Amino acid sequence: MEDRQVVVLTNVTENDAGWCTDIAANSLGTSSSTAYLNVMEAEPILADAESHAILILGVVLLSVMVIASIMASFVWKKCQKEKRRAIDLEHGSEIASISEYELLFGTPWELPRSRLVMGETLGEGAFGKVVRAEIQGFLRPDMNTTVAVKMLKEGHTDSELMDLVSEMERMTMIGTHINIINLLGCCKQDGPLYVVVEYAAHGNLRDYLRNNRPSSGYERAIGQELDTITQNDLVSFACQVARGMEYLASKKVRL
């Protein structure tokens, strides 16, 4: 039964505080009552203990999952780094332990080291060099083929060896084209790593054009003859370079 002694007031603010008079009237007469209205701040509604515990548990579980994910990522990266380090070679020029790359450079790319006859050095850097060589019976059993051999010098690091191996890998994926220097094979058994590529008889195009430009100002060796480069030659060179670049672009090669 509704309590008639209790009056419920809604939407009350602190400005409504003070003395209030309640007047009631009916057919029998009128009655009034005066009281002081004191407005207090509402008490905060506290969460249920069980709901609070569930919230804390959810936060803890989420934190554990985040930490576990970070640790798993760290462990995976460390394992990948250790795996890469494991396939690095011992310091030195011997590459007997390069068997990890057999799947990349198997029998089709392996050239017998005994068929290579080394010649003059064509160029060299701090840790690597390129040597002119003859390979016996490469195209025909009775014919030698002139090639260029890339190799590392004594004292190279594992990282430099990996760079040379990576270069081989890129060349195998690029494939062959008439207007680029193509990979012919490699020697990785019983000795230092050799990467065998096509030989460019005139060297790189930039130096060739500079050395054979009339009145170029570049010194030439005594007895070296100047090649006559015509306008048609220049157009042909440009077309060949464009075809080579177009092929590399089709293979998604970034220079």
Q: What is the pLDDT of residues 145-170, one digit of tens each?
A: 899 999 998 888 888 888 888 888 88
- And the tokens for 107? 């029998």
Count of beta carbons in the 10 Å neighbourhood of residue 48 = 9
If you compute the radius of gyration of the chain from its CA atoms, what whole number of angstroms results? Answer: 43
CA-CA distance, 130 to 152, in Å (whole number)?
9
Q: Is the pLDDT assigned to residue 183 strictly greater than 60?
A: yes
| Portion of the chain with pLDDT greater than 70, in percent | 75
> Encoding tokens for residue 83?
């795996």
Q: CATH second-level architecture of 98-216+226-250?
A: 2-Layer Sandwich (3.30)
Task: Please give the Cα distance from 52 to 170 (Å, whole number).
Answer: 59
Closest among 165, 175, 198 to 251, alpha carbons compared: 175
Residue 99: the pLDDT is 45
SS3 2: coil
Residue 126 or 235, more confident: 235
Over the chain, what is the mean pLDDT?
Answer: 76
Look at strands 144-152 and 194-198 and give their pairing: antiparallel
Beta-bridge partner residues of 118:
133
- Flag whether pLDDT at 141 surpasses 50: yes
pLDDT at 84: 61
Q: Is 98 exposed, middle or buried (0-12, 13-18, 19+ CB in 10 A)?
A: middle
**Higher local confidence (pLDDT), 200 or 39:** 200
**Structure confidence by residue, pLDDT tens digits, 7-49:** 666 677 777 777 777 777 777 777 777 777 777 766 555 455 6
Domain residues of the chain, as ranges? 98-216+226-250
Strand-pair partners of 197: 148, 183
pLDDT digits (tens, 9 = 90+) for 103-133: 444 557 888 888 899 999 998 887 889 999 9
For residue 90, give the amino acid letter. E
